[in-house]
Amino acid sequence: MSAGAPLIVLFSLLGSAVLWVLLSPLLGRARFRRTNFRGSSIPAVAGVVIMIVVAVGSGVAWALPEPFGVTPARAAASLILALAFGGLGLVDDLSGQPGGGGFRGHLTALAHGRLTTGMVKLAGGGAVSLAATALVRGDGSVVDWARAGLLVALSANLANLFDRAPLRTTKVAVLWLLILVPVAGGPELLPGLLAVGAALGLAPWEGRERLMAGDTGANVVGAALGLSTVLALGPGGEWLALAVVGGLNLISERVSFSRVIAGNRVLSALDRLARLRP
């Protein structure tokens, strides 16, 4: 990992914290509040901050690729994913429709003539993932392109599946990034570094249940880490990552991650780590 990676995380973290302080009066209004798992009404679209930080960081890297060591195409892909997945997640967060249901639930609703915002997010996210990965895999085969796009889309959905308790997605994201560090030189991790830093910037408030990043934040974090995974790994590693991410998405159709975590003493302790009720 390059020496500049910790600085990217630090600036992203600080930028996220400062931006939340500035935007919290707006994002804390009644129309942006939802009831959390304890029954408290808190701001539910704080993930907008993560979207902005990742988008701005990616935009700067696109305009000034030399200091970051990334190609304009990779920075542009990160920017597109941040804006698109953030926007799709925001629509879902503001819709008021109940979450959950998984792929089967959304497809069943569609079969009965009802289009859910979750289905819009899945379809739109898949299309955007393919478009973004086409920028970085334009010279590869159709299989390479489709594999990369599917990995990014499923990564975004997986991060959202973990977003059922404060800081859970952030902890998974940190672990994900640490797994990539030994196999990546640095520039490949830029999207993930920006997203994890931005999520950590909101952690002091999220841990005290003062905000929710929501689908807006979780989708951006997952898509950014999916893109970093694509950029960091070769074809063999990508197939393995796709098997893991895809497998977890499929398992979630039958098994509740929250129940598994609650039933395991170690996972439960890690899940509660740094969570402080107000």
At residue 102, the pLDDT reads 57
65 belongs to a structural domain: yes
Q: What is the CA radius of gyration of the chain?
A: 18
35 belongs to a structural domain: no
67 is written with which tokens?
A: 């200091």
Instruction: Specify the higher pLDDT residue, 203 or 109.
Output: 203
Distance of CA 70 to the CA centre of its chain: 21
Q: Which residues span the domain enclosing 63?
A: 5-30+41-272
278 belongs to a structural domain: no
Looking at the structure of the chain, the number of domains it has is 1
At residue 166, the pLDDT reads 93
At residue 117, the pLDDT reads 62
269 C-beta neighbours (distance < 10 Å), count: 10
At residue 113, the pLDDT reads 57
At residue 274, the pLDDT reads 82
Interhelix angle 214-232/142-162, nearest 10 degrees: 140
Kindly provide the b/e burial profile for residues 93-119, where b requires at least 16 CB atoms within 10 angstroms of the residue's own CB: bbeeeebebbeebbeebeeeeeebbbb
State pLDDT tens for residues 167-217.
999 999 999 999 999 888 778 999 999 999 999 999 999 999 999 999 999
State pLDDT tens for residues 110-155.
555 565 666 677 788 889 999 999 999 877 789 999 999 999 999 9
277 belongs to a structural domain: no
Instruction: Specify the higher pLDDT residue, 250 or 276.
Output: 250
State pLDDT tens for residues 5-55.
889 999 999 999 999 999 999 999 999 998 887 788 999 999 999 999 999
Query: Of 249, 259, 200, nearest to 13 (Cα)?
Result: 200
Q: Are 232 and 182 in contact (CB under 8 A)?
A: no
Mean pLDDT to the nearest integer, 215-243: 96
CA distance 41 to 58: 33
pTM for this model (two decimals): 0.92
Query: Of 148, 137, 164, 155, nearest to 220 (Cα)?
Result: 155
At residue 255, the pLDDT reads 92
